[in-house]
Amino acid sequence: MIQQPIIRCSNTAKDLPQFLQTLSYDGLFVLTDDNTKQFCLPCIEAIPEIQTAKKFHIPAGDEHKNLQTLSSVLEFLSQNGANRKSLLINLGGGMLTDLGGFAASVFKRGIRFINIPTTLLGAVDAAIGGKTGVNFNGLKNEIGVFAPAVAVLIDSNFFRTLDRTNLLSGYAEMLKHALLDSPSALNRILHFNLENIDYQQLNDLLFESVLVKEQIVEKDPAEQGIRKALNLGHTFGHAFESLSHELKRPVPHGYAVAWGLVCELFLSFVKFGFDKKILSKIIYFVKENYGVFPFSCNQYERLYELMQHDKKNETENINFTLLRAAGEVEINQTADRKEIDEVLDFYLF
Ligand code: GLY
């Protein structure tokens, strides 16, 4: 997979036209959702190329990340004369860049696209790394392809207006990247003041975090090996997230990841002697900022079933990425039902 350049923007209204001038394309298309149409499109609307571009918006929310919405985007491209040389700009969070990237990569067997993430979660994770797709049959990202954007333009000005929940959701993926990176990166993430945010400092941490993901994806774009490191916290995390949807009290993705990190670092302590003091620091940080996931022993069975259905499993065993220490990753680890119950006991009590 070709690498996708990540462009650090200080003002997308200036940086986007400069980047567009480096490309040759026939027809420019912009995809937004209900929210980004209202709050983010105005930031780039004055650009002459954007004024003449064909624009389409889809409903916001993960429940619309499906084949029906994908079909509406393809119909829009088709009816507005998009061809192989056209360019699609995806302006939005992870749902939009995943879906828009997928639409672009299958339309006429693939047209180019640019991602402009408008959430911290999107910038640090979904918009980079070339994963595209939609949910299907009740399963997240069940259909999709690996397809890199021609560029990802990250402008942290978009994140200044994010509410605390959305900001923290993205920050959990930054915590994950720091854990994969090094003790010093972890220290920086744990000591950043989330109460009184210094956006310049957040921006520096964000790009440090993006680099961690970029370097992993560069080594293994199709997730055959080391890219599985990025699943740290996600085996328990996805099960918590799915359970929260089943119980009709959905939690944001990053919150589920933060709770999943606590569980998987405890498993790392049990299996690889991950430092107990650092584990305690992370538990404190997660409890302070994300609270705890509310569930009971009655839900162990369902959580276990949800982990069994995880598409990351290659055998009937449940697959984990664990850590010996910050920066020392062990992929392809498994745990049995008894070990998983012990982790859940630890989490609850
Ligand atoms: N979100 C994990 C990955 O991109 O591989």
Alpha carbon distance 45, 206 (integer Å): 26
* Cα 40 to averaged position of ligand 1 atoms, centre (Å): 25
The encoded tokens of residue 201 equal: 């400092």
* Cα 27 to averaged position of ligand 1 atoms, centre (Å): 30
pLDDT at 315 over 80: no
- How would residue 343 be classed by pLDDT, with cut points 50, 70 and 90? very high
Question: Which residues on neighbouring strands pair with residue 90, listed in sequence order?
Answer: 31, 115
- Which residue's alpha carbon is at the smallest distance from atom 5 of ligand 1? 230
Is the distance from the beta carbon of residue 98 to the nearest atom of ligand 1 less than 6 Å? no
- Domain at 164-348, CATH homologous superfamily: Dehydroquinate synthase-like - alpha domain (1.20.1090.10)
Alpha carbon distance 157, 224 (integer Å): 35
pLDDT at 41 over 70: yes
Alpha carbon distance 182, 154 (integer Å): 24
Alpha carbon distance 349, 345 (integer Å): 6
H-run or E-run covering 113: strand 112-117
Can you give the residue ranges of every domain in the chain? 6-161, 164-348
- How would residue 240 be classed by pLDDT, with cut points 50, 70 and 90? very high
Q: What pLDDT is recorded for position 1?
A: 57
The minimum-distance atom of ligand 1 relative to the CA of 131 is 4
On average, the pLDDT of the chain sits at 95
Q: What pLDDT is recorded for position 309?
A: 83
Q: Pairing relation of β-strands 318-325 and 328-335?
A: antiparallel
Q: What pLDDT is recorded for position 263?
A: 98
Is the distance from the beta carbon of residue 129 to the nearest atom of ligand 1 less than 6 Å? yes
Report yes or no: 108 and 83 within 8 Å, Cβ to Cβ. yes
Is the distance from the beta carbon of residue 140 to the nearest atom of ligand 1 less than 6 Å? no
Q: What pLDDT is recorded for position 134?
A: 97
CATH for the 6-161 domain, from 3.40.30.10, 3.40.50.1970, 3.40.309.10, 3.40.50.1370:
3.40.50.1970
Is the distance from the beta carbon of residue 228 to the nearest atom of ligand 1 less than 6 Å? no
pTM of the predicted model as reported, rounded to 2 decimal places = 0.95
- How would residue 2 be classed by pLDDT, with cut points 50, 70 and 90? low
- How would residue 342 be classed by pLDDT, with cut points 50, 70 and 90? very high
The minimum-distance atom of ligand 1 relative to the CA of 217 is 5
Is the distance from the beta carbon of residue 177 to the nearest atom of ligand 1 less than 6 Å? no
Is the distance from the beta carbon of residue 210 to the nearest atom of ligand 1 less than 6 Å? no
Q: What pLDDT is recorded for position 139?
A: 82
The minimum-distance atom of ligand 1 relative to the CA of 231 is 2
Alpha carbon distance 241, 173 (integer Å): 15
What is the per-residue pLDDT across 253-309, written as a single tens digit (0 to 9) for each? 999 999 999 999 999 999 999 999 999 999 999 999 999 999 999 999 999 999 998
In percent, the amount of the chain with pLDDT more than 90 equals: 92
Alpha carbon distance 237, 263 (integer Å): 9
pLDDT at 313 over 80: no
Give the pLDDT mean for 139-151.
93
Alpha carbon distance 129, 122 (integer Å): 11
Distance of CA 97 to the CA centre of its chain: 10
Report yes or no: 169 and 100 within 8 Å, Cβ to Cβ. no
The minimum-distance atom of ligand 1 relative to the CA of 227 is 5
Question: Which residues on neighbouring strands pair with residue 30, listed in sequence order?
Answer: 55, 89
Q: Helix H segments across the chain?
A: 12-20, 34-39, 41-44, 48-52, 67-79, 94-106, 120-121, 164-181, 183-191, 199-219, 234-246, 253-272, 276-290, 300-308, 337-348
Is the distance from the beta carbon of residue 230 to the nearest atom of ligand 1 less than 6 Å? yes
Give the pLDDT mean for 325-341.
96
Q: To test ligand 1's pocket by mutation, which of 98, 213, 311 has the most ligand atoms within 8 angstroms of CB?
A: 213
Amino acid at 90: N
The encoded tokens of residue 310 equal: 């995880």
